[in-house]
Amino acid sequence: MSHVKSVAHSSCPFKVSTFRDQVEPPAGQTVYLSWMLHREQLRPIAYDGLERIGAMADGGYVVDGRLIDSATAVLSLGLGYEWTFDEAVRGRNPSAVIIGVDPTIQPGKFVGMLIRSILKVPMYGLIGQRKALGRHLRYGRVARQYFRLFRGSIRHIQKMVSAVDGPNDISLPTLIGMLGAVPNLGLVVKMDIEGSEYEVIPSICEHAHLVSTLTAEFHDLTTKPERFNQGIERLLEHFRIVHIHGNNYAPYSKELDFPDVVEITFIHRDLCPPSCQPSSKRYPDALLDVPNDPEKEDYELRFSADEI
């Protein structure tokens, strides 16, 4: 059972309009494209209990730790070589079933990295090749981390997450079926699948009764804002936004006055306060957020043209 009491949701005191409610700029005026991106619906609600889990860098996620601790299952969609979130989840909730999905990493590659590290680290240490030594030490560390993490109840599936199953693709319903019996609000979904997230949103909504937390990266806001708006609208039928952060590895659009990539955390609305209030915080949140690219300033987010 969740450590957070489920409550019946009610309407928020601030209006969540839809992309279709927006009015186009009057003809003849200078075209300013911020109207195309419905920023108002992205303002988080006030919500206590958030914490950062995973790296204090790119790869960490802001979630409600109580829902991580009580989860029976976690879907980690998109892995790359950064697994600190998954490692932290396993450390604080060892009984949770975790499935990681990513076609770009293979166990065989990590075997090769480990063998090269074992063979070459002593050699480069003896001859004083510090650069090569450091590289192969990293190879060995990453390979060991992979094999320590993906064993037992934690699986890695080498497929692309998609709307439908295929030879190289796997759908969310299939993944949920692999988890076994998941109680209502017992599932956490972490998603960074480089633009394919929009294909998966319908399935997330169909299984929303199972999902306590969705923390996801959304791409291409500035090139395909309507697709993003409509995806967020659909998710907001089931969830509330409790946190948002701009990814400063991606460009910032002056025309849309928003980053091209954002990380958003949703909590199922039945777990949110019955009378949700808009957050008064500024984003990024100094207590929770760090720049994805440590060499650049974080992006400050504005949810309306009136904000400075």
Mean per-residue pLDDT, 137-151: 87
- Tell me the C-alpha distance between 271 and 68, whole Å: 13
- Tell me the C-alpha distance between 298 and 282, whole Å: 12
Strand bridging mode 169-171 / 187-191: unpaired
Domain that holds residue 228: 19-104+158-271
Is 86 found in the same domain as 26? yes
Tell me which of 89, 122, 153 is where a domain ends: 153
The amino acid at 296: K
Running DSSP on this structure, what letter comes out for residue 35? G
Who has greater pLDDT, 100 or 31? Answer: 100
Mean confidence (pLDDT) of the chain: 87
Domain-located, residue 6: no
What is the per-residue pLDDT across 33-86, written as a single tens digit (0 to 9) for each? Answer: 555 889 999 999 999 999 999 988 888 999 999 999 999 999 999 998 888 999
pTM: 0.84
Domain-located, residue 205: yes
- For 129-133, 202-206, 227-231, 275-279, which range has the lowest pLDDT when averaged over its residues? 129-133
Is 267 found in the same domain as 140? no
Mean per-residue pLDDT, 111-123: 86
Domain-located, residue 3: no
Tell me which of 124, 153, 182 is where a domain ends: 153
Is 251 found in the same domain as 113? no
Is 231 found in the same domain as 170? yes
The C-alpha R_g of the chain, in whole angstroms, comes to: 21
What is the per-residue pLDDT across 195-247, written as a single tens digit (0 to 9) for each? Answer: 889 999 999 999 999 999 999 999 999 888 999 999 999 999 999 999 999 99
pLDDT-derived band at 145, boundaries 50, 70, 90: confident
Q: According to the model, what pLDDT value does residue 35 have?
A: 56
CB 242 within 8 A of CB 47: yes
Domain-located, residue 126: yes
pLDDT-derived band at 32, boundaries 50, 70, 90: very low
Is 137 found in the same domain as 266? no
Domain-located, residue 305: no
Of 181, 167, 196, 211, the residue nearest 75 (C-alpha): 211
Is 87 found in the same domain as 145? no
What are the angstrom distances between the C-alpha of 20 and each of 59, 235, 262, 293? 34, 16, 22, 34
> Quick one: what percent of the chain has pLDDT higher than 90?
61
Is 172 found in the same domain as 124? no
Q: According to the model, what pLDDT value does residue 91 have?
A: 94
Q: According to the model, what pLDDT value does residue 12 have?
A: 56
Q: Report the largest interatomic distance among the alpha carbons of the chain, rounded to a whole angstrom.
A: 72
pLDDT-derived band at 286, boundaries 50, 70, 90: very high
What is the per-residue pLDDT across 2-20, written as a single tens digit (0 to 9) for each? Answer: 444 343 444 454 444 333 3
Helix 107-127 crosses helix 130-149 at what angle (to 10 degrees)?
150
Q: According to the model, what pLDDT value does residue 308 have?
A: 60
Q: According to the model, what pLDDT value does residue 153 have?
A: 82
What is the per-residue pLDDT across 259-270, written as a single tens digit (0 to 9) for each? Answer: 999 999 999 999
Is 146 found in the same domain as 162? no
- Tell me the C-alpha distance between 272 and 216, whole Å: 18
Domain-located, residue 223: yes
Indicate if the pLDDT at residue 250 is higher than 80. Answer: yes
Indicate if the pLDDT at residue 304 is higher than 60. Answer: yes
Number of domains in the chain: 2
Domain-located, residue 124: yes
Is 210 found in the same domain as 264? yes
